[in-house]
Homo-oligomer: A and B are copies of this chain.
Amino acid sequence: MRIVVLAGGIGGARFLRGLKRAAPDAEITVVGNTGDDIHLFGLKVCPDLDTVMYTLGGGIDEEQGWGRTDESFTVKEELAAYGVGPEWFGLGDRDFATHIVRTQMLAAGYPLSAVTEALCARWQPGVRLLPMSDDRVETHVAIEVDGERRAVHFQEYWVKLRASVDAKAVVPVGAEAAKPAPGVLEAIAEADVVLFRRPTRSCPSARSWPCRDPRGGRRGRGAGRGPLPIVGDAPVRGMADKVLAAVGVESTAAAVARHYGTGLLDGWLVDTVDAGAVADVEAAGIRCRAVPLMMTDVDATAAMAREALALAERYAGDRRPAYRVWALPGLPEVAAGTTWPS
């Protein structure tokens, strides 16, 4: 079985760990979100790709879900001693090495997909990890501070401001011009099932992304698409509602399902506490099941992945005229919150 997963960061990585257990013999291709990417200290940082790579490769800090285990912060402290920021992004020494290798290879002309493959040669994640695009995309968020509107990098909004102010708009800079990375469309075209979790925090709106038909209008080979873990009326991680609000979507399972709509989704998992929304979702033309979606441990996650695969199976053989996949997307360097020694 060939499975393609469109995955973000912490949640996506944990979901993948469960999926590997649920389908140990499957060929899994992960199309990793790069919309959260950021340039920090002149280095290219791809938080979501790294979280997937570290998690599946056994190098993740399990407790916080991101960054490396057994991490130290000497480089960051020294940068702060030079007065060079930003200080709010937690880059550890081990993590720095990843960004240094990536940046050096990019500067030497390798595309991000080749760099990611090279990094994975070390981590052996057990899946094929592709960036969604080799082109640069960065998600910026419009906020209002003291009555003045300004744009901040998504990471600044999320990590520094902790979504404490309203997001007026979410702008995926570079998304329009970006092309899917080599292998992405091919993997989707050959997949038995395409799964995705809740859209990543930085990318709440399908509408704000370029929707592409990877099969160019050909009928697909049949693909179900799975779980979106919005549990109850609030996202599990607590802050995504701010971003959803910016694109005019309620943070309820049914509202998000309607937002994606039938053009994107065949099936949809909601949490058991949202069982009441099943009829609502199905009324919108999307098959829906209520199952436990909380990824409390690998076993629970594997069970959830099995439910997603089972739901997808119901669509096996189903042919749809076209379906859409988010294909993201380069832009001028905007290093968030960069400061120089004075």
Contacts and interface: CB of A to CB of B under 8 A. Distances in A.
Interface of A: 41-43, 72, 74-76, 78-79, 81-84, 93-94, 96-98, 100-101, 103-105, 107-108, 118-119, 121-122, 338, 340-342
A82 B341 contact: no
Task: With a 10 A CB-CB cut-off, give which of A43, A100, A342 has the most chain B CB atoms.
Answer: A100
Given A75-B97, A108-B340, 9 more contacts: A41-B101, A42-B103, A43-B100, A78-B98, A79-B101, A83-B122, A84-B101, A84-B104, A118-B342
Contacts of A94: 74-75, 78
A342 B121 contact: yes
Contact of A341 (B76, B107, B119): B119
Nearest to A79: B97
A75 B96 contact: yes
A93 to B, nearest CB: 4
A340 B81 contact: no
Given A340-B118, A342-B121, A78 B105 contact: no
Copies in the complex: 2
Task: With a 10 A CB-CB cut-off, give which of A79, A105, A341 has the most chain B CB atoms.
Answer: A341
B42 A100 contact: yes
A341 B121 contact: yes
Contact of A82 (B42, B108, B119): B119
A35 to B, nearest CB: 23
Nearest to A107: B42
Nearest to A78: B97
B41 A122 contact: no
25 contacts: A41-B101, A41-B104, A42-B100, A42-B107, A42-B108, A72-B93, A74-B74, A75-B93, A75-B94, A78-B93, A78-B96, A78-B98, A79-B97, A79-B100, A81-B97, A82-B101, A101-B341, A105-B340, A108-B340, A118-B340, A118-B341, A118-B342, A119-B341, A121-B341, A121-B342
A75 B93 CA distance: 6
A82 B97 contact: yes
Contact of A42 (B75, B104, B340): B104
Contact of A72 (B74, B82, B121): B74
A100 B335 CA distance: 14
A121 to B, nearest CB: 5
A116 to B, nearest CB: 11
A336 to B, nearest CB: 13
A340 B174 CA distance: 29
A229 to B, nearest CB: 32
Contacts of A97: 74-76, 78-79, 81-82
